[in-house]
A = this chain, B = another copy of it.
Amino acid sequence: MAADLTDLRALDAADPLRSFRDRFDLPQGVIYLDGNSLGALPKATRERLKAAVDEEWGKGLIRSWNSHDWIGAPARIGDKIAGLIGAKAGEVIVADSTSVNLFKLITAALRARPGRRVILTEPGNFPTDLYIARGVAELIGDVEIKLAPADQIADAIDEQVALVMLTHVHYKTGARHDMAATTRRAHEAGALALWDLSHSCGALEVDLNGAGADLAVGCGYKYLNGGPGAPAFLFVAERHQAALRSPLTGWMGHAAGFDFVDDYQPADGIARFLCGTPSVLAMLALEVGVDLVAEAGMPALAAKSRKLCSAFVEAVESRCVGSGLTLVTSRDDAVRGSQVSFAHPDAYPIMQALIERGVIGDFRAPDILRFGFTPLYVGFKDVGHAADILADILSSGMWRAPRFSERSAVT
């Protein structure tokens, strides 16, 4: 059993990724189980940013667009991310935010399926995905956003559906969709499938081309450790690139952006999904995080993620019997992300007490304690200690102190 400290220490000792923990700066006394909200700081990011600021911006100035290949960063980093998610070089590009990229791809998909006006997704999908879809519908009109619970999505895919849009791993429950099966079903009905990888990329094995996926977006600041608000990425399968057009036709997506002509001509390939000038500093910080994930390798990271989640479930369940916690996430690796969620009627003050004790996870309304496991820097002993502290908080009732119930702006 992975529940006691001796066993957890043995798992750490046998962990082939153990040394990656030292490549991150994490504050003393903190067990960080919130890398699915904001990834930790890679030590190498500091030096990379210093060089980018002092040498590239300060000394190179405008010349660095060429001499330090700033102009190539979106495609270069995109190619690196492609290798993490089962995509080919030239199918992924780094740009804008996840929300903006969703807007590009949802509108592109609707225009590629004229006569079909339904975007099918699930209730409780990551909010910005739903919001962006509603914004598209309001803008171009005559679009229906149809919500079906996860287990009814397949049956809801019909000839009216232009796009099936789902988050691969649910941000709250950690439930994972079967990307291949749902994509196949979408294709059978003539629809396209768009996957939001924000809660999977960097922690789980994702195989976009293996699943036949059409479109995807993902986040740079969660498991990729790109820094707060890091640029996002998008994927368009090579077979669709020539036909799909981004509605956000900024100069970076132009076939000849430096010719300064009046007419718009989209670039060939994935570059047409770029829009305006990206933050170079943010791009280069993201690249450090992506390089670390690539160095560790997705198979090893995914294997460790599965073990961390199982060990945490076991550790909590063995220590917190009768405490009112209900496991929300599946015990089955195959349908779970790199996170474990428990429900508790007093989840909010319990999470505040955990944070005060150095265990940083997330509260998600109305009653979810969410714990994310970034295999690059979370160890098995951390999992046991976090469970110990949770058990202590629950048994002592310390979370009932009034200070833990005060809501702050960002929860």
Contact = CB atoms under 8 A, between A and B. Distances in A.
A57 B41 contact: yes
Interface in A269-318: 275-283, 285
A140 to B, nearest CB: 6
B250 A131 contact: yes
B100 A100 contact: yes
A99 B248 contact: yes
A351 to B, nearest CB: 12
Interface in A189-244: 221, 227-232
Interface stretch (A9-17, A46-54, A337-345): A46-54
A144 to B, nearest CB: 15
A34 interface: yes
Interface string A64-104: 11100011000000000000000000000000111110010
A248 B135 contact: yes
A147 B262 contact: yes
Of A32, A96, A250, which is in contact with the most chain B CB atoms at under 10 Å from its CB?
Answer: A250
A336 to B, nearest CB: 20
Give the 9 A-B CB pairs with smallest separation, nearest first: A97-B276, A99-B250, A135-B249, A99-B276, A279-B282, A228-B280, A128-B251, A41-B58, A139-B247
A228 B252 CA distance: 14
A173 interface: no
Given A45-B53, A135-B248, A124 B262 contact: yes
A193 B247 CA distance: 22
A59 to B, nearest CB: 5
A404 to B, nearest CB: 15
A132 interface: yes
Contacts of A37: 62
Given A96-B100, A100-B100, A285-B281, A264 B131 contact: yes
Contacts of A172: 260
A259 to B, nearest CB: 7
A129 to B, nearest CB: 9
19 contacts: A27-B58, A38-B62, A41-B57, A49-B281, A64-B228, A66-B409, A70-B229, A71-B409, A97-B278, A99-B275, A100-B275, A103-B275, A107-B139, A128-B276, A130-B263, A138-B247, A140-B140, A229-B283, A281-B285
Contacts of A38: 57, 61-62
Given A63-B360, A100-B248, A248-B100, A53 B41 contact: yes
B30 A221 contact: no
A149 interface: no
Contact of A229 (B136, B227, B279): B279
A131 B228 contact: no
A176 B264 CA distance: 25
Given A49-B49, A250-B128, A251-B131, A245 B409 contact: no
